[in-house]
Copies of this chain bind each other. A is one copy, B any other.
Amino acid sequence: MDTPNQEHRLTRKGKETRARIVAAAARLMFERGVAGTSVEDVQREAKVSASQLYHYFKEKRELVLAVVRLQCEQVLGAQEPLLSHLDSMEALRTWRDAIVQLQIERQFVGGCPIGSLASELADAEPDARLELAEGFELWELAIRKGLRAMYDRGEMRPDADPDRLALALLAGLQGGLLLAQVRKEAGPLEAGLDAMLAHIRSFLV
């Protein structure tokens, strides 16, 4: 298994090679899906030999797990520092605009890297499902932290449930991203996010 411990035992050059393989796999799987990406494709894309790749990943399943972890890190990392300060309607709005803008720049290709992996792997790969659930949970926790801060400062009505609002916002975001990917336009993403933000706003005192 590909554990952090094993990763730590690698030399600097080894870590670099491993990272290059995972990045190449992530690129291809984002474009073609996991099932549409063979280990040989990854090998060519990363410019490594079959034995090099096998040195780091004994089977495709391990490589897929590493890709899931990388995408979760990258998606959440790219949203920092916005994601860590979602404690005002203005901050939520700025975050919403950044997400919409990114999808416009990507021309609505690929959708959410985590969501796409989730849709493909949730039932077929139990280990990947757990990693994906964890990625979504970190995302939800970041949103929740901001909403709870608003709640704790007394800016929300006592009957507001910041945890449930955070989960609902993530659902609206994921559905909006999927529909925007299918329609190749921002409308569904904006509608989904704006409705959730309006719903959150309805709890402000």
Contact = CB atoms under 8 A, between A and B. Distances in A.
Interface of A: 31-36, 109-111, 115-116, 118-120, 122-124, 129, 132-133, 136, 164-165, 167-179, 181-184, 187-189, 191-192, 194-196, 198-199, 202
B120 A111 contact: no
A178 B119 CA distance: 7
A164 B196 CA distance: 12
Given A35-B35, A182-B133, A183-B133, A191 B164 contact: yes
Contacts of A176: 171, 175
B179 A192 contact: no
Contacts of A169: 195
Given A172-B175, A174-B179, 15 more contacts: A33-B33, A119-B119, A120-B120, A129-B182, A133-B183, A136-B179, A164-B195, A167-B179, A167-B188, A168-B192, A170-B188, A171-B188, A172-B192, A174-B175, A199-B199
21 contacts: A35-B36, A36-B124, A109-B123, A111-B122, A115-B119, A119-B120, A122-B181, A122-B182, A164-B194, A167-B191, A168-B195, A171-B172, A171-B188, A171-B191, A172-B172, A172-B175, A172-B196, A195-B199, A196-B199, A198-B202, A199-B199
